Amino acid sequence: MAKSSKIPDPTIERLAQYSRPLEVLLKNGALLILSEKLAELCGVSPAQVRKDLAYFGEFGIRGVGYDIRALLQEIKHILATDREWTLCIVGMGNLGRALVENENFQRRGYNFVAVFDSDPKKIGKTLPCGLTIEPANKIRELIRKLGITIGVISTPPFEAQRVANLLIDSGIKAILNFAPTRIRTPDNCAVENVDFTVKLENLAYHLGKIS
């Protein structure tokens, strides 16, 4: 099956992107798709699509294309999104609350089961989704009790590393970090950063070149 080593990181990122239009197509009843069509929908080259998929096996039929349902299932299996994940989030500001209520997470099997904050005024409040804000000192206990595997950080930047350390100490192996700062983790804990302001600065750079 997988030549599991040496898969380029960009390939993993694109697999997730391929799944988006495939889901739409499947829902609309389409059965087959060509690498050329999928490539066009995702803004990449057809050869790129084929090479990305070929890292994991032979999913297509030569002369015909890819079976949409089977391909989507394979991608989900590769990305391990064919199961449910339990998450917690630390930092219940505007962004944290919006993330917890965001239906894009549940829809893909990412379920928040605990939310934390260190502000006494927020602790104990119940959110529309039904979760109650817990104090930061219960992070370790609840992560273990609820079997949480992914931690989300939406605190101010100066608290992010401390929170990350707490999560790591509690056994978390994957962190999604929304704080606009780098956090350090041991090799066995993966981090993905979502920094809007970096993206805006990219845009500003491009705009600056024009005007």
Partner DNA sequence: TTTTGTGAAGGAATTCACAGCA
Partner DNA sequence: TGCTGTGAATTCCTTCACAAAA
Which residues make up the interface to DNA (CB under 7 A)? 8-11, 34-36, 44-48, 50-51, 53-54, 58-66
Question: Which of these, 138, 90, 147, 152, lies nearest to 115 by C-alpha position?
Answer: 90
Identity of the residue, 69 or 108, whose beta carbon is nearer to its own copies in the bound complex: 108
Distance of closest approach, residue 2 Cβ to DNA, in angstroms: 12
The span from the CA of 7 to the CA of 56, in Å, is: 9
For DNA, the closer of residues 48 and 86 by Cβ is 48
Q: Which does 150 bind (CB under 5 to 8 A by kind): its own copies, DNA, none?
A: its own copies
Taking alpha carbons only, the member of 64, 58, 68 closest to residue 19 is 68
- Closest by alpha carbon to 95, among 187, 30, 176? 176
What is the contact surface with its own copies in residues (CB under 8 A)? 4, 12-13, 15-17, 19-21, 41-43, 78-81, 85, 93-95, 97-99, 101-102, 104-105, 108, 110, 149-150, 157, 173-176, 180-182, 184, 188, 190, 192-211
Q: If we measure between CA atoms, which residue out of 53, 46, 75, 67 comes closest to residue 3?
A: 53
Which SS3 state, helix, strand or coil, does residue 164 take? Answer: helix
Q: How far is CA 201 from CA 50, 136, 159, 197, 205, in A?
A: 33, 32, 23, 6, 6
Nearer to DNA, 59 or 105 (CB): 59
Q: 1 is in the binding site of which of DNA, its own copies, none (Cβ under 5 to 8 A by kind)?
A: none
Q: Which is nearer to DNA, 54 or 146 (CB)?
A: 54
* Nearest distance in Å: CB 160, DNA: 23
Smallest distance from the beta carbon of 192 to DNA, in angstroms?
A: 15
**C-alpha to C-alpha distances, 197 to 154, 159, 200, nearest whole angstrom:** 14, 18, 5
Inter-CA distances, 2 with 52, 78, 188, Å:
12, 9, 21
| 50/108 with CB nearer DNA | 50
Minimum CB separation of residue 28 from its own copies in Å reads: 12
Q: Cβ 138 to its own copies, closest distance in Å?
A: 23
Q: What is the token pair recorded at 141?
A: 């206990």
Q: Which lies closer to DNA via its Cβ, residue 45 or residue 106?
A: 45
Choose from its own copies, DNA, none: what does 124 bind? Cβ within 5-8 Å by kind. none
The tokens for 118 are 């260190």
